[in-house]
Each structure stands twice: as C-alpha cells, then as structure tokens.
Structure 1
Amino acid sequence: MKKTQPVKRFFLNSVLAAAALCFTACDPDSGPAIPKGAYEKGVFILNEGNFQKGNSTVSFYDRDTKTVLPDIFSPVNSRPLGDVAQSISAHNDRAYIVVNNSNKVEVADINTFESLGSISGLAMPRYFAVANNKGYVTEWINYGIKGRVSVIDLSTNTVIKTIEVGTMPENLLSFKNKVYVANTSDNTISVINAATDAVETTITLAEAPNSLVLDAKDKIWVLAGGKKSYKPDFTVDENKSTVGNLIRLNPANNAVELTLPFASRKDSPGQLKINGAKNKLYYRYAGKIYQFDIAATALPATALINRNFYGLGVDPATDMIYGADAGFFTANGKVIRYSPGGAAQDSFQVGIGPNSFLFR
C-alpha cells in the first residue's frame, strides 16, 4: 500500500493543478475579452447615396488591417438601409442612423449591425443625440417653417414628445442634461432642458449656425455659415450676404464669449470637428480644411489641407483626419486619410456620397 501513495499523491496533485488551470482559464476576469462582434473597433463611414434611389450604405474601415467593407447593413439584414442617410451616432452599443428622406432613424447593434428596429413618425430628420437616457432628433419638418426636436424612448424606439425649436434645426449637442440645438435658418441656439423636455432658453448669435462641439474647458464652439443671398444665376450676391463666424459659448451662463468673423461673404464655413484632446478645432472653409487651437484669438490664415471635402472627421484615438470625397454622386466616393499635420497618407473607396464618420 505504501508503494501506491506516491501515485495517489501524483494523481491528486494533477487533478488539483488541472482544476486550478481550468479555474484560471474559465474566469472571465482573467482571460482576454471575448469580441462583441466584427465592428467593435474601427471607423464607420456613412454614405448618403442618391436622392430617391434608396441606396444609402454604411462602410466600415479596419484601422489595423486597413481593409474596407463597402456595405455592412444590407448583407446582414437582407434589405437596404433607406433613402439619404444623413448622420450616424452611437450610444450603449447601438448605432443610430438618421435616414432623412425615409423619415426614420434606423437602430442597429453597433458590433454586428443587425437591425434592432427603427424610429418612425419623423419629418425630414437630421441629427441624433442622447441626454438623460433619452434620444433627441432634429427635424426640419418642411422648408421655411419652425422645426422641432423629437424626444425618443430608447427602450421602445418611439417618439414620446416633440419640442418646437427654430427654423431648420441641424446639429445638436448634449452636455450636463441639456441639449443645444443649432437652428440653421435662424441666428439662434435652442437650449432644451432634458429633465423637463422644454426649451429653457434661446441664445441669439451670428446667422446660420450649422455645427457645434464641446472643448476640453467645457466651452461650446459654434460654427455659423452666415446668411447667403443668391442672384438669378445662383451665384452668391455678396452685397446682400453676411460673413460666417466661429463662436465660443459658455454653457454655464449661455454667454457668447468670443466671435471671430470670416473674411468672405461668399463662402460659408461648415463641418466643425474637434480632436481627441478637445483642444483643436477643424472646419471646412473656402474649399480648404483649417485647424484652430482653442486658445487662439484669431482665425488661422493658412489652411492645414488645401482640398475641399463633402464630409470631414477627426479620429479621437489617433488625430488622423478623414476627408470624404463624394465626387458627383454618380459613382462610389472615396476617403482620404491625413496625418495630424495635414500630410496625405492613403485613401480607399466607399459607397455613394460619403458624408460623415463614426469612430470606435
């Protein structure tokens, strides 16, 4: 019997070692995270497609492998995305894609892009944001009339309230339980209290605000395009038009702290973006891309990129700049990537009419 004890001890030790190994391997906190899906990390490119053709798509770019998937929605859902994809946002592993001419917001699992339903009952929707665990969608409704913001129950994907704002509301920004709405055809920002879902105040500033971002100092920067008047030949009548402006707004008291006018009455600045550190702004103006340090008190005289783009994005993880070239909307567009210093790096083909980016 004594001769068998070492065997028994060896067997027991082996079992305990195996059990310990299994415990370590099976412990979800000790091993590598299980991927949630194919699109957990990368860049989404929204392609609006042709008006009334219903051919909008979402492309996906893998930063690590530098590979591109031209359409990730239709293959997994066996149906098209819709007509004119306007914007894309993310919240809690869900993608919210505003499809303007289909009057809906498509909701998808952001990791697999399987459809999770859609939000209907909208009229010319534009942009989407989340505040106080609710969704907010800007809607033009119709040209020349007051627009609105629809409040969305994110658990049911239904509209629970509508809020009248200014004319042609465009981009919106969520900060400290408030939603700031740029009314593009007015000279105002509507401030919605996300607790009461009512307009708390209206801020008057320069004409035609179109985009806004929050910086590292909790200041809101607004890009206003200026009011444009047109001649019979559709060129800008500079005598009857106003210049665009870059504006710094303090959300603590809604005061306009800084207004920097652009030189041209003809050109409208747009596509305001911010880097990962939130200390540099980027925008499109007069056919070029400019960079602006938030500590500056004057607009830059020299462009960062001497090229115009239909859509603009800045990757917060790398500060790489993405430019969307839509061409003439008759064929697939392309994306050109630039270093933070403005040097072209590479390019790749995407769908028709690329207009915006979502980085993960």
Structure 2
Amino acid sequence: MKLKQLLWASALLSVSFACSDSNDEKPLGKYNNGILIMNEGNFGTNDGEVYHLNPNTEELLPNIFEAENLRPFAGLLEDMVLEADRLYLVANTGKVEIVNPADFKSSGAVSGELDQPRSLAVNGSKLFISDYGPYDASYATPDSYVAVVNGLDGGTVSKKIEVSNKPEDLFSYGNYIIVAGSEENKIEIIDATQEAVITTLDLEASPKQFYAEDGILWVYAVTADEVLFYTVNLSSLTLGTTYSVPVANATSRIAFDGDDDMYILTSSGWPDYNDAVVSIDIEGTTATATELMTGSGFYGIGFDDDLDQIYVANSNGFQGNGTVSVLTETGSVIRSFEVGRGPSGFLVY
C-alpha cells in the first residue's frame, strides 16, 4: 500500500479553524484535524478501516468509517487521497468510497467496474483511478488501465485508458495525469481531455510514488540494490536530475518530511523479514542513507511535520491487530500503540 503520503503524501494544515467563503470562521470537523491511520485489512475478510489519532492528546478513535456510516468499509484499503473537501478511500478489492473528511460520512462511490484499484487523482471534474486490471491465468496483469469517472462524487467508469503493467501512484498537473508504471519502469503522461497517453518516459528503476515541491516532481523508484529519485520538470514534462543511493530491498513505502529528507522501509522478505527504517538525505547532488531502526513486520510509514515525528506501522504478520510506533528523527521510540489489521499508511493534516 501506499499513501500520498503520505505518508507517502501528507496534507498539512497549520491552523485550527477553516474559513468559509463569507470569511466567517468555523471549527474544523471531528476528523479533519490530526492523523488518519489507514488499516489495510486482512485478505479474505476485507476488514480495512481508518483510525483517527489526535497526536497532542494521544486520543485514538477506531473504525471511524463504520462508526459514522453504520456499515463496515468492507474492502482492503490501498490508498487515501485528500482532494479539497473530499477524501477518497481506494480499495484494491474493486471500489472507491468518497467521504467528507470532516465527519467521515459517505458522499458517493465508484464500484462494480474496477478490478484492483491502486490510487486516484482529480483533474477538473474527473476522477482518474490507477488499476492493475484483472489477473490472467499466470497471475500477470497485462490489461492494466487508468479508469476515468466523470464526477467528483463517484459514479460509473466512462473509459479505461490502457497503460503499462501495474500502475501505482498518480499525479495531476495542469491538463495532465502522470502515471507511475511500476512493472515496466515507465512514467506515462495522460492528456486529461483526450483521455489518452501522449508521452512515455523510460526509467531504469520501478517508479512507486510522486511528490511535488517548488515546481519539481520527485519520483521515488527502486531496484533490488538501489533507491533512485528522479526529478521531472513540470513545465516541460521531461526528466531532470537523477539521485541514487545504494539501499537494498527498498519497499514502496516512503514519507517525505517536506524538506530534503525522506524516510523509507526496507525488507528482506520471506523467510527472514529483516526490515529497517532508513532516512535518506539529499544535499546538492548527493544522496546519503542512514539506518534508524531495525525489526520485522514494518508495513507503512508517515511523517508529522508539525512535531517532527516518524510513524512506523507494523503488521505483526497479520496475526491479529497491528501496532504503530512513533519515532524521533534519529530513530528513538517515543511510544507505541495498537491499531487495526494491517496498518499501512498515514494522512497527516
């Protein structure tokens, strides 16, 4: 899973009140202040859910989708995408739920025409949803696509745009949707009006996540032995600088701190599952890596920019509920607490 985030991508608010068009101040809602913890859920039982954490009081509210909608989410959560006044809950079991981030009440959905959705981006009045597509007899995904939905509150899929195998993160810019094609090491650029791929950029690594800062789009990509960061010039939609650092077994999990530091997870995989939290610092033309913490079962990572704290999710092998540990920027554990099944991402307001 990933999270724009979150997380691998974060949404940060620096005030405790939201302003209306009339300039009257109104308190933020119950949930759109603090940290949302995405619990993927267990395969087969499809019990994905969202928890809400107040990092100042440490109050933790479980299962907030079910609590506010009086029904279970009933899916495996893959991503949470915040766009203006809507929060999109992407389930790789074939649906997208749309909720009001203030009270978590459902306002719409996309379902019935998706296969294995991975992430989502908004462009104008359209939703673009990356989807692995169905498995074939060999469990490959040769029919991957980006689904188009006309309407920000969901509805039916109007078109499926063919892309390279296993698209992951999406990024919306101008009239374009930029796609991370993870299996074939490509970045594909879709014209949102034409609803077609118009440009492809070939990479030497598997792109996983995007992060935009100061007119530059960062692309987090991995090989078996390296972590690479590509930059994309958004004005020309061309590749810029490439930074590489020798970190083996990097996963798709990453959190940006809003500056030049990134936090990633590594895992040796089965049967040992030797995992680590690694900090990567980019200074000038050089990227360096520092191991902060080791263990097993690390499954998600996020960063709270207000408190300068790292959040590390542990699935505990999906044997019961997972846990979250809060770390300092040097890797010291501040506290840990239990969350839901398969915690995998964070959205920080």
- TM-score category (smaller protein): 0.7 to 0.9
Secondary structure in 2 aligned to 1:322? Answer: strand
Q: In the alignment, is residue 346 of structure 1 matched against residue 346 of structure 2?
A: no
Distance 1:257 1:304, change over 3 A: farther
2:300 is aligned, of 303, 311, 318, to 311
Q: Any idea what the Cα deviations from partners look like across 1:52-103, whole Å, max 9, x if unmatched?
A: 10211111101232110121011222211022111111123222101111x1
Query: For the residues of structure 2 that align with 1:243 and 1:110, how far apart are their CA atoms?
Result: 37
Partner of 2:146: 149
Unaligned stretches of 5+ residues in structure 2 = 1-19, 135-139, 268-274
Q: Any idea what the Cα deviations from partners look like across 1:117-145, whole Å, max 9, x if unmatched?
A: 21112111011122224221100003331
Counterparts of 1:23-172 in structure 2, within 5 Å, are 33-101=25-93, 103-120=94-111, 121-142=113-134, 143-158=140-155, 159-172=157-170
Query: For the residues of structure 2 that align with 1:64 and 1:202, how far apart are their CA atoms?
Result: 45
Query: For the residues of structure 2 that align with 1:173 and 1:117, how far apart are their CA atoms?
Result: 22
2:287 is aligned, of 282, 291, 299, to 299
Partner of 1:200: 198
Counterparts of 1:183-194 in structure 2, within 5 Å, are 183-194=181-192
Partner of 1:224: 221
| More RCO (CA 8 Å, sep 6+) | 2
Give the residue type in structure 1 aligned to 2:313: A
Aligned-pair CA distance for 1:155? 4.3
Query: For the residues of structure 2 that align with 1:132 and 1:30, how far apart are their CA atoms?
Result: 24
TM-score w.r.t. the length of structure 1 is 0.79
Q: In the alignment, is residue 274 of structure 1 matched against residue 256 of structure 2?
A: yes
Distance 1:263 1:31, change over 3 A: closer
Higher strand share: 2
1:320 is aligned, of 277, 289, 309, to 309
Task: Indicate if the aligned counterparts of 1:68 and 1:348 stay in contact, CA closer than 8 A.
Answer: no
Aligned-pair CA distance for 1:307? 4.8
Unaligned stretches of 5+ residues in structure 1 = 1-27, 227-240
Higher helix share: 1
Task: Indicate if the aligned counterparts of 2:77 and 2:92 stay in contact, CA closer than 8 A.
Answer: yes
Query: For the residues of structure 1 that align with 2:293 and 2:158, how far apart are their CA atoms?
Result: 44
Point out the structure with max Rg over C-alpha. Answer: 1
Partner of 1:248: 231
Partner of 2:242: 259
Distance 1:316 1:162, change over 3 A: farther
Distance 1:199 1:81, change over 3 A: same
Partner of 2:272: none
Q: Any idea what the Cα deviations from partners look like across 1:239-261, whole Å, max 9, x if unmatched?
A: xx675533223233333333344
Task: Indicate if the aligned counterparts of 1:76 and 1:114 stay in contact, CA closer than 8 A.
Answer: yes
Task: Indicate if the aligned counterparts of 1:225 and 1:244 stay in contact, CA closer than 8 A.
Answer: yes
Give the residue type in structure 1 aligned to 2:231: R
